[in-house]
Amino acid sequence: MAHISIIGAGNMGQAITAALTRDDNVVDLLGKEDADKPVDGDIVVLAVPYPAVDQVLAQRPGQFDNKIVVDITNPLNFETFDSLAVPADSSAAEEIAAKLPNSRLLKAFNTTFAGTLAEGTVGPLTTTVLVAGDDADAKATLVGVVNASGLKAIDAGSLKRAREMEALGFLQISLASNEKVSWSGGFGIVD
Amino acid sequence: MAHISIIGAGNMGQAITAALTRDDNVVDLLGKEDADKPVDGDIVVLAVPYPAVDQVLAQRPGQFDNKIVVDITNPLNFETFDSLAVPADSSAAEEIAAKLPNSRLLKAFNTTFAGTLAEGTVGPLTTTVLVAGDDADAKATLVGVVNASGLKAIDAGSLKRAREMEALGFLQISLASNEKVSWSGGFGIVD
């Protein structure tokens, strides 16, 4: 059992809540109106769009210290829809990690559409969550929580792999936006 | 029916040959000993490792003009295994396209392991080939050839999307190298 705070009650925050409450976890889903509620979970999921992350960090100084913080963003350039809004040799996860030096930052949930997290399946496959990060214990904790929820989790390597995971997330959104895959489909993983 | 020349008789060249000969295509598989054999196909697949592409281009001046040329490479930095060997804001496909201004360059086959191309399946899914490129006719031709072979093909967008496809290929190789997925598995696509 884990105690998880999810900041952001949009479709991804709701889908991750649906997934993680299948197991016996305590999940606090914090929406915009909950800015004054504390972050009580040991794992904090930043389920807001990338441009909103800075505001969340400013609203909650020190609240992420010593916690496992999970970045789920796909930092698309929504003006051009043709690139990411972070430097090509970096990632949203690495940018956020630099702003939270006292947290254990992980990248996860950005390569799975909300529908596949809530359903637990991508077509005939169990939905698989890729988890990247530099803190092995934090990563093992999140992998365990995800596996216990009935999804599958795979350790995708160091936080640097967030670059490729964000590229994958971008490509998947691009395919769905162009109606090449549905929002309930996309990339599945066969192990 | 198409006439396809595949340069490089390694495991990827052989797997693409196996896939495309399921349909009624003419496929010339050219190995190292065939440097003096001409490129007769209308579609040419460069199935050599990225560092060997320049040598192939130098050996065959003008032979790729007016042809559909397919780059399948994953330009990993094999010393560090921690990054790609092309600039982060570019891709192997874009670098090769610049060297072949008279060809119609496509990116394809780099997100599917050899085993899944030869078998035609990734676990329970039909193997899906992503195809990116700036020439719509060339892309439609390759998509048609791949679909006719019993695999599925998806138009992944402009050649710029090769960046994300190469990130995906890199991530998939990294997962297999770390035994998180098998070389007969990896990413499948649910449409």
Each residue's pLDDT tens digit, A89-117? 999 999 999 999 999 999 999 999 999 99
Asked if the Cβ–Cβ distance from A189 to B186 is below 8 Å, we say: yes
ipTM entry: 0.96
Q: Which of B121, B175, B181 to mutate to test the interface with A (most CBs of A within 10 A)?
A: B175
Q: Does B171 touch chain A (CB under 8 A)?
A: yes
Asked if the Cβ–Cβ distance from A124 to B125 is below 8 Å, we say: yes
Distances (CA, A) of A77 to A54, A80, A103, A117, A174: 16, 6, 27, 24, 12
| pLDDT tier, B75 (very low <50, low <70, confident <90, very high otherwise) | very high
Structural domain includes residue A188:
no
Look at residue A16 and tell me whether its pLDDT is greater than 90: yes
This model's pTM is above 0.95 = yes
| pLDDT tier, B132 (very low <50, low <70, confident <90, very high otherwise) | very high
Structural domain includes residue B135:
yes
| Residues of chain A neighbouring B187 (CB-CB closer than 8 A) | 187-190
pLDDT of residue A181: 98
**Mean of the pLDDT values across residues B62-81?**
95
**Mean of the pLDDT values across residues A35-55?**
97
Structural domain includes residue A95:
yes
**What gap in Å lies between CA B117 and CA B127, rounded to an integer?**
7
Structural domain includes residue B23:
yes
Q: Does A1 touch chain B (CB under 8 A)?
A: no
Report the residue of chain A nearest B86, measured CA to CA. A89
Mean pLDDT, chain B, rounded, equals 97
Look at residue A78 and tell me whether its pLDDT is greater than 90: no
Q: In which order are the strands placed within the sheet that holds B128-133?
A: B26-30, B3-7, B43-46, B68-71, B104-108, B128-133, B152-157
Asked if the Cβ–Cβ distance from A180 to B156 is below 8 Å, we say: yes
Structural domain includes residue B102:
yes
**Mean of the pLDDT values across residues B21-39?**
96
**Mean of the pLDDT values across residues B6-31?**
97
| pLDDT tier, B1 (very low <50, low <70, confident <90, very high otherwise) | confident
Asked if the Cβ–Cβ distance from A189 to B170 is below 8 Å, we say: no
pLDDT of residue B79: 86
List the alpha helices (DSSP H) in chain B: 11-20, 53-59, 92-99, 114-119, 136-148, 162-177
| Residues of chain A neighbouring B174 (CB-CB closer than 8 A) | 156-157, 161, 164
The answer to whether A31 touches A59, Cβ cutoff 8 Å, is: no
Look at residue A11 and tell me whether its pLDDT is greater than 90: yes
Asked if the Cβ–Cβ distance from B168 to A170 is below 8 Å, we say: no
Q: Mind telling me how many Å the CA of A56 is from chain B's nearest CA? A: 29
pLDDT of residue A116: 98
Structural domain includes residue A186:
no
Q: Does B181 touch chain A (CB under 8 A)?
A: yes
pLDDT of residue A162: 98
Look at residue B81 and tell me whether its pLDDT is greater than 90: no
The shortest CB-CB distance from B190 to any of A155, A165, A181 is to: A181
The shortest CB-CB distance from A188 to any of B82, B87, B125 is to: B125
Each residue's pLDDT tens digit, B85-109? 999 999 999 999 999 999 999 999 9
CATH number, residue B45: 3.40.50.720
Domain that holds residue B7: 3-177
**What gap in Å lies between CA B19 and CA A178, rounded to an integer?**
27
Structural domain includes residue A189:
no
Cβ contacts below 8 Å, chain A against chain B, sum to 112
If one counts the domains in chain A, the total is 1
Asked if the Cβ–Cβ distance from A186 to B190 is below 8 Å, we say: yes
Asked if the Cβ–Cβ distance from A187 to B189 is below 8 Å, we say: yes
